[in-house]
Structure formats: C-alpha cells, structure tokens
Amino acid sequence: MAVRGDFRDDPFLARLADQEPSAWFNPAVTTTAAGLVASELSSDIVDDAAARLERFAPWIAQAFPETGDARGVIESPLHAAPDMQRELGLTAGRLLLKRDDVLPVSGSIKARGGVHEVLEYAESLVMEAGLLPSPAEVGESTNRAAENDTDTVQSLTPGLTVAGHEDEVAGITDYRVFSSDPFRELMAEHRVVVGSTGNLGLSIGITAAALGLQATVHMSTHAQAWKKELLRSLGVEVVEHSTDYTAAVEAGRKAAQADPTTHFVDDEHSVSLFAGYAVAGRRLARQLANQEITVDVDHPLFVYLPCGIGGAPGGVAYGLKLEFGDAVHCVFAEPTAAPCMMLGVYTGLHDEISVAELGLDTHTVADGLAVGRPSGFVGRRMQGLIEGYYTVADQRMKDLVKALYATEGILAEPSAAAALDGPQWITTDADYRQRMNLTDQRLQNATHIAWLTGGGMVPEEIQRSYLA
C-alpha cells in the first residue's frame, strides 16, 4: 500500500513513528519458486561468486594469515547457544549462532559481499590488461569451484580447521600472483569508492589496501571513530559527511562518476555485493548437514538477519532460499530509529520513502543499521521472499549484548545482538503461525539462527563499554 500524508491514519506506521518495538509479517509473501521468478535474479550469480572466491583462496590465505587454516576460505563457525536460549525463554526448537562477528578479514558480515566485489573488480582489471586469462580460457568449471568451496566449509563447524583440501584447484591460475609487482603496479592506478556506515567500508578498504588499490570511503559522522581511524591507518581516504548514510553514498557515487579509473561499490544496487553475500546460503547448508540438523517443512529453519540498507541480509536470504526453499523463513531486524526496509516494503514505496517522513533521525547505538532509506533493489526483488520484519530499541540491544556475553562469553556489536530478539516475535504471533501452518510440533522441531553480523574488529575498550 502506498502511503503519503498523515501516516498516523495508519496505526502500524504510528507505532513505528513512536519508536515502539513492532513486528510485521508480510501477508503478500509467496512461495520460494514464485519469489525467485519474481526476483528476476539467476542462481548463476551465486555460482560465479563462489567460483571467484575459490580462485582467490590462495591469495586470501597469503594476504590474510588468519584464513590460513581454512586455506583462504572466509567463513564463520555455527554453534548452539543453549544458555542464551534459556535466557531468551525459547523452549521449543534450538538456537544457533552464526558467528559472522568473527568472520575473517573485517570481523563482520560485510566481509562476504565487500571482499567479493573488490576481488571481482581487481580480477577484471588484470584480465583487461592481459595479465591473466579468463576462467573460461583456462577451462575452469564454476560448478567444480563451488563444490570445492563448500567441501572446505564442511569442516568449519564448530571451528575453522580444514582438512583434505588441495592447495590448487585444477586448471586455475595461482592467484597469489596478485601479490607480485606487475599486478600491484596495475592496482595502484585504480581506486574503489564506497559509502558506508562503517563495516562495509572496513571490508572494502582492508581488501583494497591488501591488493594495492587506492580506496576512498565516504562515511557519516555518526560512524564510529575507531573504524575511520583503522581505515586511515591502512592508507584509505576517509571522507566524512555531517548528513546521513544516504548522503554519504550519493557523494561516493558522484566522486566515482568523474573518474574512469574509479570503481564505485554501490551498496544500494550492487549485484556483485549481493552475490557475495548469497554464497553464505550454500555454506550454511553444508554446516547444518555436517551437524546432522534436518531442514524441511516439518523441521523449519528461522534465520534472523540485522538489516541496514538491506544488501547483506537480502543476499544471504536469497542464498538461503536457493538452498532450503519454503523450509527457511527469513526475518529482518532493524533499530526502532531506522526501520527503513520494513517501511519501504510495508508501504510499497521501497527507496522512494525515508524514515525521516516518520520523524525518525536514524540515531541509534546500532551504527551499522543507521540507514534512513532502503535498497530499492533488495526491497523490490526480495519482497516476496522475506517473511517478516521487527524493530529493536537501543536499550534492548544493549541488554542483549550483555546477556550474550554473560551466557555464552560472546561480545558482539549491538546491531548483531538485534538478531537475538527474533524468536520471541515468531513464537508469539498467532496469526503468522496459522498463515504459515507453523504447528506446535513444527516449532518444536525448528532451528533458529541468530546471525551475529559484527563485532570482531571492535577495539577491546569499546567492547567493554558495551557491558558498562
């Protein structure tokens, strides 16, 4: 429904404007088959991204030693959280944590899409320059690369130790050549630009610096100072804007358009980012299988994903739907001060409406989710596949951070902790449960995954301040 004018005529929008924690389960959600067709996206983009990450694995292992045991696969563990489950009062099913807060390279979910897009850009540059043949020219099969990638991930539960993975994939050039002088000299002539609230900027800047690319990150002054300082320490240019995230993105876009040697990472519309995030779906499927956890209609999977502009959770959700179909239920979590994706989908206006129209200023402790206008790309393409949205107040996120640390010894960012509030909305919304045929028995068999999206790079003193 398109809404303009006096939003208080709509009780739900009035609650959002009052920053009252709320949930909305989309009555227009469709079957996975219909939703995938409506998205107009091809699963080929996920195969391509998985293959590219496999090609770059030797270089990643060399450039980021923390990925050495995993042979250059950037992946996070998945494990149960029984004490946190009891703290949440979740009595049916099981709670698992997807630990993207310790994801290598940048310590957040943004390492998935951000690293992939920078690698794709770097690969395109060297192929255009004739320094490397294309994958097709060396006869590489993207399916074979994707299989190797997921075989590696099989042993990433609960830790990151990998066994039985060959150093080289047959027929693929050793991408450690990206560390050689000719490649770095080429990289030095090019720049990547991105607008970010923080974590995407970290993943882009860190990867670009490792390759020798120049990088500029446009950030709102609301972004945390330590993230800006870290980027600058790597030689990344940080441009601050006194306005919100959307303005920072637009400034980055305009700067990139003026220079043909510059690539703009468009968090609102990038298929490359989206595809990089989507690879998580097949990797999670392998992890669940490795733990002998069944996922089907009678054993549903609920995944709670913190959402800012929507690219990361949208991509992950797409990958999950490709793997699990109607058995997976994807739900987005947003701060009460910035429920942009929920607002866009609820009104049908997507990126044509901002939370500012509700009088909200996006000031939130969840800085990575402080976005006023959602991605129209994600909102329109994924609206039939995302079942629900809920909002979390700042104080609730702080309480969840403390509870997670007290029960599991995990210190995540407030934005990541927002994922933990999801099960309560699922289990208490009778209308949604009835509509989706979620019987008591199915909920008893359910698996709930809280996707902890960030926190690993946060300086210790700031982490400790979360517990004050």
What's the domain range around 305? Answer: 7-43+74-104+271-465
CB contact set of 386 (below 8 Å; sequence gap of 6+): 26, 29, 314, 317, 330, 331, 332, 345
The pLDDT averaged over each successive group of 10 residues in the chain (468 residues) is: 64 96 97 98 98 97 96 97 98 98 95 97 96 73 47 43 35 84 97 88 95 93 84 93 73 80 92 98 98 98 97 98 98 98 97 95 91 95 97 98 97 96 96 96 98 92 87
Residue 239: phi and psi, rounded to 5, are: -110, 120
Q: What angle do CA 35, 356, 14 make, to 5 degrees?
A: 75
DSSP state of 299: B
What was the pLDDT predicted at 89? 97
Tokens at residue 445, please?
A: 């068999």
Q: Residue 54 falls within a domain, yes or no?
A: no
Q: Residue 253 falls within a domain, yes or no?
A: no
What was the pLDDT predicted at 151? 53
Number of domains the chain contains: 1
One-letter identity of residue 203: S
The CATH number linked to 15 is: 3.40.50.1100
| Chain mean position to CA 104 | 14
Q: Residue 332 falls within a domain, yes or no?
A: yes
Q: Residue 204 falls within a domain, yes or no?
A: no
What was the pLDDT predicted at 146? 46
Q: Residue 89 falls within a domain, yes or no?
A: yes
Cis before 27 (ω within 30): no
Residue whose pair of structure tokens reads 């000031």 in the numeric block:
363
Q: Residue 412 falls within a domain, yes or no?
A: yes
Asked if residues 359 and 366 have their Cβ atoms less than 8 Å apart, the reply is no
Q: Residue 342 falls within a domain, yes or no?
A: yes
Q: Residue 203 falls within a domain, yes or no?
A: no
